[in-house]
A and B are shown apart, each in its own frame.
Chain A
Amino acid sequence: MQKIQNNRAWWLVLPVFLLVAFSALIPLMTVVNYSVQDIFGPGQAFFVGTEWFKEVLGDERLQDSLIRQFMFSGAVLLIQIPLGIGVALMMPKSGIKGSLCLILIAIPLLIPWNVVGTIWQVFARGDIGLFGWGLNELGFDYNYTGDTVDAWLTVLLMDVWHWTPLVALLCYSGLRAIPEAFYQAAEIDRASQWAVFRYIQLPRLKSVLIIAVLLRFMDSFMIYTEPFVLTGGGPGSSTTFLSQTLTTMAIGQFDLGRASAFSLIYFLIVLLISWLFFTAITQDDKEK
């Protein structure tokens, strides 16, 4: 649709702008403020410039949790995107069965995040949880509160359980938008299942997949509540992701300057990766 140039449209956007600016800019500026000061108490703040930034860049604890974070987000994307596409392809196209599938698959998305943590905390326990008990009965030595690898895998499994439905439903709605004529043409050409997927469905899913990858990257990168409830970051610090390290630093140890400085770096990393990803894809579109 051709859009009309009209700057008076700003009046319609103004309420949104003011509301979001209130909740976004003031806290952001507060964080910026903390990041350049050393605060000893009320009214006792000293300007320290970029000192905190220099310090946090060499902080090993933060570097470790940043690496853990990247590994986790990478694993999340590698598992959830293909699995989500697969599930979307299997979902019934319409009718009551389609609606029913949609609602059942959406259930994990509707559960408050701390309850998700609670569900898995119970489900994965060796004594009272079906999953943990089942694995132990099958002869696996599984214990998510004691073993580093088990804890990490449990958090990953929980995230797959929690968020694959979002990818699946995004892809499902993308698939529904493909006109029936495309499939009929493919049938006349006797295209194989794989060819239909590769040359009709996948290209048409591109726009929803961009959203899915972006959302999953952003959200997994700032995961906090679920692993906090499930493992509390342990054993050791094996499942302590970036948000949790920063929260402990800011609220637990009241180390505001350092936490704020790294928060800003963290925010910039997310922005930068999202932006790179976004431009890479739109660039790709232009070349075609």
Chain B
Amino acid sequence: MKQSRSKNVGITFFIALLLTPVYWLLNMSFKTNQEILGSLTLFPQTFTLDNYAVIFSDPSWYNGYLNSMTYVAMNVVITLLVALPAAYAFSRYKFLGDKHLFFWLLSNRMAPPAVFLLPFFQLYSSIGLFDTHIAVALAHCLFTVPLAVWILEGFMKGVPREYDEMAFIDGYSFPRFFITVFLPMIRSGIGVTAFFTFMFSWVELLLARTLTSVDAQPIGAIMTRTIGASGIDWGVLSAAGVLTIIPGILVIWFVRNHVAKGFALGRV
């Protein structure tokens, strides 16, 4: 029992340290700018929701959230649509160049995005997709698709091939088998993959900012606006930051029971 208690103390301490910076942001988002700059207080003395009101009443602010959510949702849908059949192929068949293809997919995660900004910008401008949600969604596929294939393959390997064979003997066509029999069996895997795809698309800003200017600008890019002539509007900046954390927490809540397996990224 003693061991267990010291573990509990340890983990509580770690989580407390982890959450302190987040708490500080939350704390600041409920303060007025005078209080933030005036004195250091652990709790908001004059509790205010004004900072949030600014964001929810100004279209140029809340559109940023809508833009981010739109391209992230598009990215999750596209990623799942293409990654599901591919992961099935990788988990069931050997084919010409399969290992090389897999490594090539993963190697795209290793390309430093900062240096590909300009080519990306030129590519999407030349096909007329600059400043659209779909451009960001497609660009993010570069790193979400390999990851999704990787995770899904791990989940699919857990389903014995006998199921496939039995369904084919029963006269199922491949698409019908895949959609009505196979997908329901790996739905927790799909949930976890959707979560990871969401996460990596949501936190990325560099590509998203480069490929947009006005109509599809992500919230992260809009946040830099708070640096105005009169200095930084810390209150609104904090409120905007807090609001970017919430969608992630909501999404992880839905997959909390399966996410541990997803973090193994299909390789345990």
Q: Which of A56-64, A142-150, A231-239, A255-263 contacts B (4 or more CB under 8 A)?
A: A255-263
One digit per residue, 1 when the CB lies within 8 angstroms of any chain A CB and 0 when it does not, for chain B 220-262 equals: 1001100000000010011001001100110111001101111
Cross-chain contact of A129 among B3, B24, B89, B202 (Cβ < 8 A): B24
Q: Evaluate whether A90 and B7 lie within 8 angstroms (CB atoms) in the complex, with A112-B203, A170-B265 already known.
A: yes
Bound CA span A27–B237, Å:
34
Q: Which of B12-20, B49-57, B181-189 contacts A (4 or more CB under 8 A)?
A: B12-20
A90 CB to nearest chain B CB (Å)? 4
Please indicate the chain A residues that have their CB under 8 angstroms from the CB of B86 in the complex. Answer: 12-13, 15-16
Q: Which of A1-9, A44-52, A74-82, A180-188 contacts B (4 or more CB under 8 A)?
A: A1-9
Q: Evaluate whether A118 and B241 lie within 8 angstroms (CB atoms) in the complex, with A12-B85, A30-B122, A131-B21 already known.
A: yes
Which DSSP category, helix, strand, loop or mixed, fits chain A's interface? Answer: helix
A85 CB to nearest chain B CB (Å)? 13
Please indicate the chain A residues that have their CB under 8 angstroms from the CB of B11 in the complex. Answer: 87, 90-92, 101
Flag if B141 contacts A256 (CB, 8 Å).
no
Flag if B112 contacts A101 (CB, 8 Å).
no
Closest Cβ neighbor of B142 among chain A residues = A23
Interface size band for B: 35 or more
Flag if A267 contacts B112 (CB, 8 Å).
yes
Q: Evaluate whether A108 and B141 lie within 8 angstroms (CB atoms) in the complex, with A3-B92, A114-B205, A177-B264 already known.
A: no
Bound CA span A218–B236, Å:
34
Please indicate the chain B residues that have their CB under 8 angstroms from the CB of A90 in the complex. Answer: 7-8, 10-11, 14
Bound CA span A247–B78, Å:
29
Flag if B260 contacts A5 (CB, 8 Å).
no
Cross-chain contact of A128 among B37, B88, B96, B120 (Cβ < 8 A): B37
Closest Cβ neighbor of A168 among chain B residues = B14
Flag if B107 contacts A174 (CB, 8 Å).
no
Flag if A224 contacts B113 (CB, 8 Å).
yes
Asked whether A36 is an interface residue with its Cβ less than 8 Å from the other chain, the reply is no
Cross-chain contact of B40 among A89, A111, A130, A208 (Cβ < 8 A): A130
Q: Evaluate whether A128 and B202 lie within 8 angstroms (CB atoms) in the complex, with A5-B95, A9-B93, A13-B89 already known.
A: no
Flag if A224 contacts B245 (CB, 8 Å).
no
Closest Cβ neighbor of B31 among chain A residues = A128
Asked whether A283 is an interface residue with its Cβ less than 8 Å from the other chain, the reply is no
B133 CB to nearest chain A CB (Å)? 15
Asked whether B119 is an interface residue with its Cβ less than 8 Å from the other chain, the reply is yes
23 A-B residue pairs with Cβ-Cβ distance under 8 Å, sorted by A, are: A3-B92, A3-B94, A5-B94, A6-B95, A7-B95, A10-B96, A16-B86, A19-B82, A20-B146, A26-B123, A28-B111, A87-B11, A90-B7, A104-B18, A107-B22, A111-B245, A112-B204, A113-B205, A114-B224, A122-B24, A128-B234, A173-B264, A242-B112
Q: Which residues of A contact B (CB under 8 A)?
A: 1, 3-10, 12-13, 15-17, 19-20, 22-24, 26-28, 30-31, 86-87, 89-92, 99, 101-115, 118-120, 122-123, 127-131, 133, 161, 165-166, 169-170, 172-174, 176-177, 193, 207-208, 210-211, 218, 221-222, 224-225, 242-244, 246-247, 250-251, 256, 259-260, 263, 266-267, 270-271, 274
What 3 A-B pairs come out closest when comparing CB atoms? A110-B248, A27-B119, A263-B115
Kindly list 16 other residue pairs between chains A and B, CB separation below 8 angstroms, not including A6-B93, A15-B85, A127-B40.
A1-B157, A7-B96, A15-B81, A23-B120, A23-B142, A27-B119, A27-B123, A87-B11, A106-B259, A115-B223, A173-B262, A173-B268, A224-B112, A246-B115, A259-B115, A270-B111
